[in-house]
Copies of this chain bind each other. A is one copy, B any other.
């Protein structure tokens, strides 16, 4: 989660919503990314999506079986879909997102009968740190 937080802090420095994500297998980091939707003009360029795509490129596969994803914010439906399709084993996230999340909030995709692979879910890790980062970012915007 420390590495995901570093990616989130780097995203904020680029004036992007501060979210960071890491794909790992055991103790090996396979990919890491921060949110780049503005920089890339790409609404799909959430940290999780970039990290999953990077990991798939590196491993030469579209299935990240045995890999875990660590992210500083509860994934949205788009990212939850990608996590499922990529067969991520464990999902670790920091802050929950009542407005846009799709794991413990919103559509709770991983509990839906149309979700065909759900990761194990661990939430609340370094929650206050991620929340402070997000709140600080949005407060500075106002």
Question: A25 near B: Cβ within 8 Å?
Answer: no
Q: A82 in the interface, Cβ–Cβ < 8 Å?
A: yes
Q: Tell me whether A77 and B41 are in contact in the complex, defined as CB-CB below 8 angstroms, given that A102-B114, A114-B100 are known contacts.
A: no
Interface residues, chain A, with chain B CB atoms under 8 Å away: 37-38, 40-44, 49, 52-53, 56-57, 60-63, 76-82, 85-86, 98-102, 105-109, 112-114, 116
Interface of A is mostly: loop
If A42-B62, A44-B82 are given as contacts, then 12 extra A-B residue pairs at C-beta distance below 8 Å, sorted by A number, are: A37-B85, A40-B62, A42-B53, A43-B52, A43-B86, A44-B85, A77-B80, A77-B107, A77-B109, A102-B114, A105-B114, A107-B112
Number of copies: 2
A76: chain B residues at CB < 8 Å are: 81
